[in-house]
């Protein structure tokens, strides 16, 4: 967004996410295999979406695992037209500029006109000053354009993220839509009470979240009428095909713990727009959309609290990365530090549209520097990288930021460059793999990023090529650099090969066969009850897993299982995966350790203003030095000694009159922040803690959550419906509920993931003693679980079904196929539902549930299909059976066309190409070519073969007839013929040149040149030339039909005269003579 005020962005060190969560309760994990859940009916019973096209282009399944192309200021139609290139470049997602209505008073289609302050000559940032939250504006296109772009994206498996701006409107209040004013209860209700006061203290969260920024009035985002209006905009974007949102100026919209504007009762905008709460009966239609916010770091931003609702921009890391690449050093200590309190919840960039357009801090970077830095964030495991598309024709290094300066046009082609494309595809292929960063040979100008054991990206900042022999985590073997095409070799933990200067090497083998295991948290240790583990299976069959806890089963790529439920603190759980590849079995294993919850966290409960967990190497006496300004502090350096609470935790309360202050911790020798750096920002009323490099807000612990959990029966039958109800109390704010089941064999299954509803329906799939669980989380992230035993009994006779079709096995397109199902067992009456799937993974409902057990279907397309019938009995027991069927096209009559080149006439000995084209019939065709002459003789040119072309050279003149005989796979036969006349070859073209006078002539006299041509074909054209005594060439006359020319010599000496002759078929001949020219 456009910012007219700049302010200090302080670098925050990286921190463990566990710290931020620990004060609100143990985080619930997404447990249990998403497999074999016999709950209700499967999703495939309704019409299913077409299978993803992402795999065709090597894209990631999930947005967070791939790369985002920021198609900045590209129109919707421009994005649509370039969708194939975006997919081919390996981008899983495209991010659009804001789609909302905006002020169109200055509609010059320039990225930046001559008026860079007010934008009256056209400007990109009008998009960021909404007049209404409806889709479509003059810069990007209409709602229909947006919808068509999303439909095109679906064809390639590309996700769409839209930039949205709920924080403010245009300052030209007369241009704000009356519909918007009316919907929120009038103009006064649209803005915060503080919304027209400019922010002066960026670290003051009240000012930051309620005040006017850069002249843009601050919307009352807590007004439920506004929230409902804005939700309708989001839902319309989702309905048109949007898959996620980027929230502009997100740090300026408060989280629940932030101070309230006097017009507001709760800071609940983020719970509402992420689907956790509703507003005036309106709810986000898809709470699983990808959400990230422009939460620029520094200035007292509660990063850990924002992380509960969204991913955030890694602005400090981007700044550090730009400094590293321009400073020509990728030191691994610098590169590995994310500089954020929530490193697992980041969207990363080398540059953003703000760093490029506003302050221009990144605009002087070269394309080469961008590619080198992009390779870092795209190759790393964490963070979702965003590639900013610079304007086409721009050259920031020379000061031309705007290039061709056209709004709506495609950016430059860097997004399609080889290095960008290949590192994107590498990232997609390595989703879920661990990372290891190193500087080979401790050389900070070479950075190596290993991913798992299958690949690495190596970036060479040097101005020379380098031969490396570096440590690696990769398996032994030979690997291809997808950029240069060279081979790299891994042997005994060493990788060797040649790096080009100032280039990126992307080293792995595409389409390799592998299985893998990765923690969804990024860590192989956990202190929660269970840990979610993601399993991968690439290009293998029969993938299976086993755990040292006794669980086992088959799985598909991307499936998640949970470990740890049967283990004690200190135990190590081993997960092993196997698959069958083309060369045999492929295996992998990983270990996960269950650890005790950090004991020091119990001391950090929010009862003090500030805490510190003693850093390694510090002494036992720790001081807090706090200052408001140069004249106001809590005492002379080194400040006041802090109180020791236990487990290395120290605490201190600042003076009551210190409403805001800066804090420095020290032990008399070491200190943080370092000397000459600004202190950590503190606001009275909050509690803050410095732990492991992170300055994070402490949530005061709420009352424990209590749960009442019940089912509508204590004994259920297989296939019957069981209603589960949970009621939570205590904790903070609203609750979400997750329902789980374990059986008496120790298998765990997820019935339903976290949602606001406290009820859930479950259909038991097998008899036995089960235990039902509900996991509850509150708004602060606190967690509690309750259990409920239940007995599942068998039904008297299992419901079974048979399905028959007539005709069976094979049917033709458009013909009538009768489906008949026969059910037995179960209870009472049956209802039948008929379904179809094709070989492309598309599903179609033929007929919904009804009492009739027969149904008629007419196939609409050829191919391998599978027919299904779903049957339910009176008690809700369910069964499905399937039957394959092959649908073939209605057979057309075999027909053939024959063509010759040349056609109609050919010369003896010349080459004639015969081409036959067959259609209709069945299967493949074979072709036989034959000739007959005018004497009744027949000759075989070529016997039956699959090729439909043949070459023939005529051996004699006369009228001939060419034939082709064609047979299809079923033996059907067809012949066609083609007449052709064969003529003699023409005599060779020759030409004779004479001059009169013939041997000696005088300068200035007239000489008649005569050319006579014979042979060849048709008429002739003649061209006369002369080569003078001084060896200069001149054309006397261009091609004409007449063979004579009058020449007047001008130069004394021996002169060469030439004639060029061509005939009607382009045959060419030259003849010459010599003549002496005298004075």
Mean pLDDT of the chain: 88
Distances (CA, A) of 333 to 238, 284, 321, 502, 688: 41, 41, 12, 21, 26
Contacts of 860 (CB under 8 A, 6+ apart): 813, 814
In a domain, 711, yes or no: yes
CATH of the domain at 732: 2.60.40.2550
Per-residue pLDDT, 701:
55
Per-residue pLDDT, 51:
34
Residue 652 contacts residue 624 (beta carbons within 8 Å): yes
End position of a domain, from candidates 888, 911, 946: 888
Q: Which residues pair with 855 in a beta bridge?
A: 819
Taking the C-alpha atoms of residue 572 and residue 563, their distance in angstroms, rounded to an integer, is 10
Examine the domain organization and report whether 809 and 884 are in the same domain: yes
Give me the residues of the chain with pLDDT under 70, please. 1-53, 341, 359, 521-522, 699-703, 746, 780-781, 795-796
Taking the C-alpha atoms of residue 865 and residue 809, their distance in angstroms, rounded to an integer, is 10
Per-residue pLDDT, 432:
84
Closest C-alpha to 8, from 206, 435, 296, 354 = 296
Examine the domain organization and report whether 899 and 976 are in the same domain: yes
Q: Provide φ and ψ at 897, rounded to 5°.
A: -120, 145
Residue 1041 contacts residue 1064 (beta carbons within 8 Å): no
In a domain, 749, yes or no: yes
**Tally of CB atoms within 10 A around 737:** 24
Q: How many CA atoms lie within 13 A of 13 on its CB side?
A: 14
Q: How many structural domains does the chain have?
A: 6
Taking the C-alpha atoms of residue 208 and residue 211, their distance in angstroms, rounded to an integer, is 6
Examine the domain organization and report whether 879 and 848 are in the same domain: yes
Positions annotated as catalytic residues are 248, 294
In a domain, 665, yes or no: yes
Which of helix, strand or coil describes residue 411? strand
Examine the domain organization and report whether 717 and 782 are in the same domain: yes
Residue 530: which domain range?
514-594
Residue 651 contacts residue 613 (beta carbons within 8 Å): no
Query: What's the sign of the alpha-carbon dihedral 52, 58, 64, 70?
Result: negative
Distance of CA 100 to the CA centre of its chain: 23
Radius of gyration of the chain (CA): 39
Q: Is 620 exposed, middle or buried (0-12, 13-18, 19+ CB in 10 A)?
A: exposed
The tokens describing 154, both together, are 């679906």
End position of a domain, from candidates 832, 855, 888: 888
CATH of the domain at 859: 2.60.40.10
End position of a domain, from candidates 888, 922, 945: 888
306-360 pLDDT, tens digit each: 988 999 999 999 999 999 999 999 999 999 998 886 777 899 999 999 999 986 7
Which of helix, strand or coil describes residue 239? helix
Per-residue pLDDT, 20:
31
Taking the C-alpha atoms of residue 882 and residue 885, their distance in angstroms, rounded to an integer, is 10
In a domain, 261, yes or no: no
Per-residue pLDDT, 676:
76
In a domain, 274, yes or no: no
Residue 743 contacts residue 766 (beta carbons within 8 Å): yes
Closest C-alpha to 870, from 861, 857, 883 = 883
Q: Which residues pair with 161 in a beta bridge?
A: 95, 244
Question: Which helix (H) or strand (E) is 369 found in, with range?
Answer: helix 367-379
Per-residue pLDDT, 796:
64
Residue 1035 contacts residue 1047 (beta carbons within 8 Å): no
The tokens describing 30, both together, are 């997404």
Examine the domain organization and report whether 883 and 904 are in the same domain: no
Taking the C-alpha atoms of residue 28 and residue 26, their distance in angstroms, rounded to an integer, is 6
Per-residue pLDDT, 37:
31
In a domain, 407, yes or no: no
Per-residue pLDDT, 39:
28
DSSP string, 244-301: EEEETTGGGS--TTSPPPTT-S---HHHHHTTSS-BTTB--S-TTSEEEE---S-TT-
Can you tell me which residue has the tokens 């200590």?
A: 333
């Amino acid at each position: 967004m456009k910012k007219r005020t700049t302010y200090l962005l302080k670098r925050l060190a990286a921190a463990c996410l566990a710290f931020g969560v620990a004060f609100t309760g143990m985080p619930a994990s997404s447990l249990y295999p998403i497999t074999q859940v016999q709950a209700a009916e499967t999703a495939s019973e309704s019409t299913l979406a077409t299978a993803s096209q992402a795999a065709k282009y090597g894209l990631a399944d999930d947005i967070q695992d791939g790369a985002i192309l920021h198609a900045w200021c590209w129109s919707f139609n421009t994005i649509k037209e370039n969708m194939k290139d975006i997919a081919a470049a390996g981008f899983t997602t495209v991010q659009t500029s804001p789609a909302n209505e905006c002020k169109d008073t200055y509609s010059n289609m320039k990225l930046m006109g001559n008026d860079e302050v007010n934008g009256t000559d056209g400007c990109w940032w009008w998009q960021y000053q909404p007049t209404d939250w409806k889709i479509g504006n003059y810069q990007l296109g209409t709602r229909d354009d947006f919808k068509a772009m999303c439909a095109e994206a679906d064809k390639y498996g590309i996700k769409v993220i839209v930039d949205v701006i709920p924080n403010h409107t245009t300052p030209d209040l007369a241009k704000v839509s009356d519909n918007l004013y009316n919907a929120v209860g009038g103009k006064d209700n649209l803005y915060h009470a503080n919304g027209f006061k400019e922010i002066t203290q960026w670290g003051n969260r009240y000012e930051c979240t309620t005040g006017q920024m850069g002249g843009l009035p601050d919307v009352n985002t807590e007004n439920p009428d506004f929230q409902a209006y804005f939700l309708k905009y989001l839902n319309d974007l989702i309905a048109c095909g949007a898959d996620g949102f980027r929230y502009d100026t997100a740090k300026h919209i408060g989280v629940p713990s932030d101070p309230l504007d006097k017009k507001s009762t709760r800071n609940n905008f983020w719970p509402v727009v992420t689907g956790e709460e509703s507003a005036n009966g309106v709810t986000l239609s898809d709470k699983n959309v990808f959400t990230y916010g422009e939460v620029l770091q520094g200035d007292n931003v509660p990063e850990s609290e924002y992380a509960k609702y969204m991913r955030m921009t890694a602005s400090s890391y981007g700044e550090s990365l730009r400094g590293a690449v321009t400073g020509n050093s990728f030191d691994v200590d610098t590169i590995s530090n994310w500089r954020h309190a929530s490193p697992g919840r980041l969207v990363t960039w080398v540059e953003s549209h703000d760093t490029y357009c506003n302050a221009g801090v990144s605009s002087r970077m070269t394309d080469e520097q961008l590619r080198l830095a992009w390779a870092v964030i795209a190759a790393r495991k964490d963070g979702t990288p965003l590639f900013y598309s610079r304007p086409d024709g721009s050259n920031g290094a020379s000061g031309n930021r705007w290039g061709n300066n056209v709004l709506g046009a495609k950016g430059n082609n860097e997004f399609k460059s080889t290095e960008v494309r290949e590192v994107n595809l590498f990232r997609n292929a390595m989703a879920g793999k661990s990372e290891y960063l190193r500087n080979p040979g401790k050389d900070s100008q070479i950075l190596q990023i290993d991913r798992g054991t299958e690949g690495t990206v190596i970036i060479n900042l040097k101005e020379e090529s380098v031969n490396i022999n570096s440590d690696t985590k990769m398996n032994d073997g030979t690997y291809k650099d997808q950029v240069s095409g060279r081979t790299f070799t891994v042997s005994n933990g060493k990788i060797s090969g040649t790096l080009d200067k100032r280039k990126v090497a992307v080293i792995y083998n595409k389409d390799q066969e592998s299985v893998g295991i990765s923690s969804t948290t990024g860590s192989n240790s956990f202190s929660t009850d269970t840990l979610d583990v993601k399993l991968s299976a690439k290009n293998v069959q029969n993938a299976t897993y086993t755990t040292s806890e006794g669980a086992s089963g088959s799985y598909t790529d991307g499936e998640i299982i949970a470990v740890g439920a049967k283990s004690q603190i200190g135990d190590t759980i081993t997960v092993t995966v196997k698959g069958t590849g083309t060369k045999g079995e492929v295996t992998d294993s990983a270990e996960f350790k269950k650890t005790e919850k950090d004991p020091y966290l119990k001391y950090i409960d929010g009862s003090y203003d500030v805490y510190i967990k003693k850093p390694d190497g510090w002494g036992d006496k720790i001081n807090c030095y706090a200052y408001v300004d140069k004249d106001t502090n809590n005492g002379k350096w080194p400040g006041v000694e802090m109180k020791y609470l236990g487990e290395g935790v120290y605490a201190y309360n600042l003076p009551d009159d210190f409403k805001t202050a800066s804090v420095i911790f020290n032990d008399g020798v070491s200190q943080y922040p370092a000397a000459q750096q600004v202190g950590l920002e503190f606001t009275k009323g909050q509690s803050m803690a410095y732990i492991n490099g992170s300055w994070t807000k402490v949530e005061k612990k709420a009352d424990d959550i209590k749960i009442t959990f019940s089912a509508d029966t204590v004994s259920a039958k297989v296939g019957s419906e069981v209603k589960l109800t949970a009621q939570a109390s205590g904790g903070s704010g609203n609750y979400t509920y997750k329902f789980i089941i374990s059986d008496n064999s120790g298998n765990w299954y997820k019935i339903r993931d976290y949602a606001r509803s406290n009820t859930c329906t479950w259909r038991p799939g097998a008899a036995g003693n089960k235990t039902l669980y509900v996991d509850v989380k509150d708004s602060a992230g606190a967690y509690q679980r309750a259990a409920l035993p239940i007995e599942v009994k068998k039904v008297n006779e299992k419901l079974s079904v048979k399905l028959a079709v007539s005709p069976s096995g094979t049917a033709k397109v458009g013909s009538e196929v009768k489906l008949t199902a026969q059910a037995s067992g179960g209870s009472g009456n049956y209802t039948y539902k008929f379904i179809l799937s094709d070989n492309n993974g598309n599903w179609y409902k033929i007929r919904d549930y009804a009492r009739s057990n027969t149904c008629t279907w007419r196939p609409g397309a050829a191919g391998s299909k599978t027919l299904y019938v779903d049957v339910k009995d009176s008690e809700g027991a369910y069964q499905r059976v399937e039957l394959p069927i092959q649908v073939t096209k209605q057979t057309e009559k075999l027909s053939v066309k024959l063509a010759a080149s040349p056609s109609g006439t050919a010369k003896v000995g010349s080459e004639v190409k015969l081409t036959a084209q067959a259609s209709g019939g069945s299967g493949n065709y074979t072709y036989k070519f034959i000739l007959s002459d005018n004497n009744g003789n027949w000759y075989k040119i070529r016997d039956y073969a699959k090729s439909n072309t043949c070459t023939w050279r005529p051996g004699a003149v006369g009228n001939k007839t060419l034939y082709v005989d064609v047979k299809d796979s079923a033996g059907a036969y067809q012949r066609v013929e083609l007449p052709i006349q064969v003529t003699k070859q023409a005599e060779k073209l020759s030409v004779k040149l004479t001059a009169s006078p013939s041997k000696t002539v005088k300068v200035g006299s007239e000489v008649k040149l005569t050319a006579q041509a014979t042979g060849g074909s048709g008429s002739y054209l003649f061209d006369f030339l002369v080569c003078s005594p001084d060896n200069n060439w001149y054309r006397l006359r261009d091609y004409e039909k007449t063979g004579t020319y009058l020449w007047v010599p001008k130069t004394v000496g021996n002169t060469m005269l030439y004639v060029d002759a061509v005939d009607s078929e382009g045959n060419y001949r030259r003849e010459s003579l010599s003549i002496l020219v005298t004075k």
